[in-house]
Amino acid sequence: MRIETERLIIRNFEMRDRDDLGEYMLQRVDKVFEGYPDFNEDKIEDEIKYRCGSEEFFAVELKDEHKVIGNIYLGIRDFNSKELGYVLNENYHLKGYGSEAAKAVVQWAFSQGVHRVFAECTPLNIYSWKTMEKIGLKREAELRQNVSFHKDEAGNPIYWDTYVYGALSTDTM
């Protein structure tokens, strides 16, 4: 796939994106939200190969710099649905690129016949759910303490709530 927006090209990953992918994934090793604690330099090669063959990960390329600054995830789910996710290189946050890319991909998915797009995040990840709202997804649910990705100092699971956001192809966005 290939989508062009004002400032971005959203497309399948290519092997030449290896260093850009490594750059933004290595930034997230210690991050609380969307962290990749097991990721390291040695895993970049396998990750870029996997993404080049994936139908769910799309590279977000900044036209001006010909640089991949992140990815949109569009996971294949039951009942003609897709689960949306996004990660950007932290040097490119808060410039509107996340919402520009996500909106274009959601519109593209609907143009391909997808019925529903949904996304989930913790209420603590304000940028993430603000991005969902900015592109027109509606908050459908708040699940109570349904996930745990971190432990406290005593080793007990820290549970987070989850916001579920969604849009139907028939919605006006």
Ligand X SMILES: CC(C)(COP(=O)(O)OP(=O)(O)OC[C@H]1O[C@@H](n2cnc3c(N)ncnc32)[C@H](O)[C@@H]1OP(=O)(O)O)[C@@H](O)C(=O)NCCC(=O)NCCS
Residues at the site binding ligand X, with contacts judged by CB under 6 A: 33-34, 85-88, 93-99, 121, 125-128, 130-131, 134
Closer residue to ligand X, CB minimum distance, 2 or 130: 130
Minimum distance between the CB of residue 91 and ligand X, rounded to whole angstroms?
11
Taking Cα atoms as reference points, which of 68, 51, 49, 60 lies closest to residue 11?
60
Minimum distance between the CB of residue 146 and ligand X, rounded to whole angstroms?
14
Cα gap 147→125, rounded to integer Å: 14
Number of residues that make up the chain: 173
Closer residue to ligand X, CB minimum distance, 36 or 108: 36
* Vertex 94: Cα angle to 114 and 20 (nearest 5): 75
Closer residue to ligand X, CB minimum distance, 62 or 88: 88
Residue 152, token pair as written in the block? 């406290």
Minimum distance between the CB of residue 52 and ligand X, rounded to whole angstroms?
21
